[in-house]
Amino acid sequence: MSQQKQKAGTLNTAIDNFIKTTHSYWSGLFHCYEIEDFPRTNNDLEHAFGMLRHHQRRCTGRKVAPSSLVIRGSVKLACAIATKLHSFTASDLAQVDIVTWLDLRSQLQKHHKARIEQYRFRRDPKAYLANLESRLL
């Protein structure tokens, strides 16, 4: 914007103010413009989530998105965006860092375990709390 501000005419002072304000923020403020096809705004990001939810509903045949979308949404969204941009081969997938993958799997298992505990509590709160109390005492 600073290179093209002379073309802005009367908006010249507004561009100066914009440059001054954004300069005070961190260096990655406009990181979205460095990556092709990356969502630029919250609306674009919401659209990406909406597309994922829509495809999940179509794949499962359910009217609502599955609960796994809440638990594994970060992984599913990244996969959906990545496969839209690039067709992956088996050799691409073989280059994944195993340690990072195992760490992600353990995080997902913790979320899954927490969801199971919530379900058990909702189904029978007295039995759940009695079991919890017996383990603590």
Domain ranges of the chain: 1-33, 41-89, 96-136
Helix 42-60 with 68-85: angle, nearest 10 deg: 110
CA distance 137 to 131: 10
Cβ proximity of 80 and 55 under 8 Å: yes
pLDDT at 82 exceeding the cut of 80: no
87-109 per-position pLDDT tens digit: 878 888 788 788 988 998 898 88
**pLDDT at residue 36, rounded to an integer:** 73
pLDDT at 15 exceeding the cut of 80: yes
